[in-house]
């Protein structure tokens, strides 16, 4: 199919890209652009050229479908240089999200016009890359060093309106105007005034007037937290100051190609495609439209969930049994929004609008107008079953009934509802207005329409929604339990508290696992585990946490846990270390020293083996869902891809050998062995 149409409008040649869904720069699009420029350049009837797009956005970047494949001509740098070299003025017409190579095409044009609400950006660092088609050279020539460094090393999206005072755009149009018409009018007006010229950004000099690159690069290094691409991007800009566009692009290209072969870029590109895959649930039903949502329970979770929904434009009925509890919940929601305003994440008017859609009530009957009801009450199966019995009578017969339980059996809850097909889990992660992960839990009788509705709502909440099945802890927390067991087993075997946290944090985890325990409260997990039978085959099972709880060391909230917290700052606590050492000796566990690598390896292996088992048991649809869960729910470093990505990097043979380390004192297999053949599946 021809992905670039050539349209002639009077004396204007229009190249219209039509390659759904986002007009990515496929080989056919790149070829069509070159062909179109050649054709219009040699046509004497044509005085100017417009590059525009059909569908939902201007070019959103290089085609991710071509990533990992051998590059094909015409290479994008050659395409953008051909556009800039055009002897007839070329105008880019932007809307939607013009990103990466798409924005680089626009930068190579001689003029840029856009909708005010269009977004532009060079997000390549999010894929472990740098702009590879002149972006590091043309952007600084237009917006200067500071702004271009910020945009290229941060990888964020920017509204076109934010450049109203720069030379980036020659015209910006309000959202009620027709972009194609306005672009043609812009060109015709300029042509009439004989004021539409070939203005090549690349021919401008890239000078830095004593720009303090050293300070800028130090700041970027500190923020990069182990990610390579931002630093490479900054270094390319610094190295190309004063160079011609051709020399600068050669340096850029060399750095781009090197990054494209890096493990970090493979991990980040994998993470991006894994997220897109997770959204493909194979559910055979269209989602219901949801406008009014009830959140039952105004505690930390309920108020966080309510905040997330209000921020996404929903009306929320927040329900709590007592007026006092309800007032406290409303206060928590209000303080969430005031924090958003203080941090600049949200304007006051937007925050006020959100709060205006909050309806607080102590009456359960207010669920009657809601298409979705989310329960976030006390984590007790009987309490939840009683509530769902009431909801069955009060809610609309087609309302989706979702529980936010972290561990309880949703099948048991569904049993009390006359139509159990509308019962699902929506497992948010605390704080629910911040954490991106949402596990949509499919109980045995959950209907596809209920699940599809939850997945669609998750997307509206800008959550990373993953469809999972029912088991103890579903997918994320079951792996978290396995990970925690291995961490605590190493404590009992002699690994230090700080050593474990530092090893995991320097490997890339957002926080040390023991500091996380102290933050969330050691008793939370301890109580959930105590409701389950104790695994007699594993005598050390979370005994380090148990001894903390026995000594009222619950973490930050009691001023001490694995650490102590004078003035709220975590410091080493010898008493905690002594208690754990004594427990280890009581259990007859030989104490020994550990290397940091061994700590990281055993923790990773625990995650990998449990993740594979979840896939084999059908709790997740695909192995890559495991990685999406761990990237968005547990602070797994994105530039490491996820536990399964790490397993695939290691390979089955090395992994099988390494997994033998997950044994007990007598070499017995504490945890059932895992079949590794599944790692060959490319889901």
Residues marked active site are found at: 104, 124
Minimum CB separation of residue 625 from ligand T1G in Å reads 15
Nearer Cβ to ligand T1G (460/558): 460
Which pair of structure tokens corresponds to residue 77? 């740098």
Minimum CB separation of residue 657 from ligand T1G in Å reads 37
Nearer Cβ to ligand T1G (20/673): 20
Beta strands in 595-661 (DSSP E): none
Other C-beta atoms closer than 10 Å to the C-beta of 654 total 11
Whether the CB-CB separation of 106 and 98 falls below 8 Å is answered with yes
Nearer Cβ to ligand T1G (259/301): 259
316: helix, coil or strand?
strand
Minimum CB separation of residue 379 from ligand T1G in Å reads 33
Minimum CB separation of residue 519 from ligand T1G in Å reads 31
Residue tagged 């067991």 (tokens): 485
Which pair of structure tokens corresponds to residue 472? 């103890």
Phi-psi region of 240 (alpha: psi -120 to 50; beta: other; left: phi over 0): alpha
Please enumerate in sequence order all residues whose Cβ is within 8 A of that of 450, keeping only pairs 6 or more positions apart, or say none. Answer: 400, 421, 422, 423, 424
**Distance between CA 625 and CA 619 in Å, rounded?**
10
Nearer Cβ to ligand T1G (70/568): 70
Minimum CB separation of residue 100 from ligand T1G in Å reads 3
Minimum CB separation of residue 77 from ligand T1G in Å reads 8
**Distance between CA 307 and CA 81 in Å, rounded?**
47
Nearer Cβ to ligand T1G (129/468): 129
Please enumerate in sequence order all residues whose Cβ is within 8 A of that of 416, keeping only pairs 6 or more positions apart, or say none. Answer: 385, 388, 389, 392
**Distance between CA 72 and CA 85 in Å, rounded?**
21
Nearer Cβ to ligand T1G (22/491): 22
Nearer Cβ to ligand T1G (139/367): 139
Beta strands in 498-613 (DSSP E): none
**Distance between CA 19 and CA 3 in Å, rounded?**
5
**Distance between CA 468 and CA 611 in Å, rounded?**
12
Q: Give, in order, the Cα–Cα distances in Å from 603 to each of 252, 447, 516, 597.
A: 38, 36, 15, 10
Residues that bind ligand T1G (CB under 6 A): 21-22, 24, 60-65, 76, 97, 99-101, 104, 123-124, 127, 129, 131-133, 135, 276
**Distance between CA 253 and CA 497 in Å, rounded?**
45
**Distance between CA 41 and CA 201 in Å, rounded?**
19
Ordered alpha helix ranges (H), 343-402: 348-356, 381-394
Which pair of structure tokens corresponds to residue 212? 């303090």
Whether the CB-CB separation of 351 and 341 falls below 8 Å is answered with yes
Nearer Cβ to ligand T1G (65/663): 65
Parallel, antiparallel or unpaired: strands 292-296 and 372-375: parallel
Nearer Cβ to ligand T1G (58/541): 58
**Distance between CA 46 and CA 12 in Å, rounded?**
5
Whether the CB-CB separation of 648 and 679 falls below 8 Å is answered with yes
């Amino acid at each position: 199919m021809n992905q670039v149409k050539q349209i002639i409008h009077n004396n204007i040649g229009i190249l219209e890209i039509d390659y759904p869904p986002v007009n990515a720069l496929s080989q056919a699009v790149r070829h069509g652009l070159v062909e179109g420029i050649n054709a219009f350049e040699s046509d004497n009837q044509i005085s100017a050229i417009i590059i525009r797009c059909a569908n939902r956005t201007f070019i959103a970047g290089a085609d991710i479908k071509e990533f990992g494949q051998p590059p094909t001509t015409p290479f994008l740098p050659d395409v953008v240089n051909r556009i800039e070299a055009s002897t007839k003025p070329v105008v880019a017409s932007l809307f939607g999200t013009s990103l990466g190579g798409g924005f680089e095409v626009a930068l190579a044009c001689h003029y840029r016009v856009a909708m005010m609400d269009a977004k532009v950006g060079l997000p390549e660092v999010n894929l472990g890359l740098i702009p590879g088609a002149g972006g590091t050279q043309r952007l600084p020539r237009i917006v200067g060093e500071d702004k271009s460094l910020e945009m290229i090393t941060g990888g964020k999206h920017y509204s076109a309106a934010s450049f109203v005072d720069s030379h980036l755009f020659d015209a910006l149009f309000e959202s009620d105007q027709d972009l194609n018409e306005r672009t043609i009018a812009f060109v015709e007006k300029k042509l009439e005034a004989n004021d539409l010229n070939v203005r090549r950004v690349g021919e401008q000099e890239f000078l830095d007037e004593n720009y303090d690159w050293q300070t800028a690069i130090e700041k970027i290094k500190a923020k990069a937290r182990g990610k390579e691409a931002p630093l490479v991007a900054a270094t390319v800009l610094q190295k190309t100051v004063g160079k011609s566009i051709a020399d600068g692009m050669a340096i850029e290209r060399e750095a781009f190609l090197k990054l494209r072969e890096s493990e970090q870029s493979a991990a980040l590109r994998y993470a991006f495609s894994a997220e897109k895959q997770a959204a493909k649930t194979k559910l055979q039903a269209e989602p219901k439209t949801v406008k009014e949502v009830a959140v039952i329970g105004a505690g930390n979770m309920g108020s966080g969930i309510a905040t997330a929904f209000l921020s996404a434009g929903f009306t929320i009925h927040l329900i709590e049994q007592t007026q006092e509890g309800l007032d406290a919940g409303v206060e928590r929601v209000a303080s969430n929004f005031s924090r958003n305003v203080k941090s600049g994440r949200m304007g006051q008017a937007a925050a006020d609008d959100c709060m205006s859609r909050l309806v607080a009530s102590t009456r359960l009957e207010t669920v009657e107008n809601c298409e979705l009801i989310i329960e976030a009450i006390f984590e007790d199966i009987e309490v939840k079953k009683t509530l769902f019995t009431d909801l069955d009578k009060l809610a609309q017969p087609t309302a989706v009934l979702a529980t936010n339980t972290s561990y309880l059996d949703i099948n048991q809850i569904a049993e009390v509802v006359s139509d159990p097909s509308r019962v699902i889990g929506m497992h948010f992660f605390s704080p629910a207005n911040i954490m991106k992960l949402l596990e949509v839990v499919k109980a045995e009788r959950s209907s596809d329409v209920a699940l599809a509705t939850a997945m669609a709502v998750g997307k509206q909440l800008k959550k990373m929604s993953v469809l999972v099945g029912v088991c103890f802890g579903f997918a994320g927390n079951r792996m978290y339990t396995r990970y925690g067991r291995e961490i605590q087993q190493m404590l009992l075997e002699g690994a230090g508290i700080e050593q474990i946290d530092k090893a995991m944090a320097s490997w890339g985890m957002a926080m040390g696992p023991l500091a996380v325990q102290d933050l969330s409260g050691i008793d939370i997990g301890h109580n959930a585990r105590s409701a389950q039978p104790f695994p007699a085959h594993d005598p050390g099972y979370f005994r380090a946490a148990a001894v903390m709880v026995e000594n009222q060391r619950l973490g930050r909230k009691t001023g001490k846990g694995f650490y102590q917290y004078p003035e709220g700052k975590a410091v080493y606590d010898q008493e905690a270390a002594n208690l754990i050492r004594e427990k280890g000796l009581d259990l007859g566990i030989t104490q020994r020293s550990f290397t940091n690598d061994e700590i990281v390896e055993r923790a990773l292996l625990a995650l990998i083996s449990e993740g594979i088992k979840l896939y084999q048991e059908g709790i997740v649809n695909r192995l890559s869902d495991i990685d999406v869960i761990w990237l968005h729910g547990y602070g797994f470093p994105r530039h490491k891809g996820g536990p399964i990505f790490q397993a695939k990097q290691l390979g089955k043979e090395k992994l099988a050998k390494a997994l033998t380390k997950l044994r007990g004192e007598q070499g017995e297999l504490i945890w059932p062995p895992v079949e590794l053949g599944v790692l060959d599946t490319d889901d």
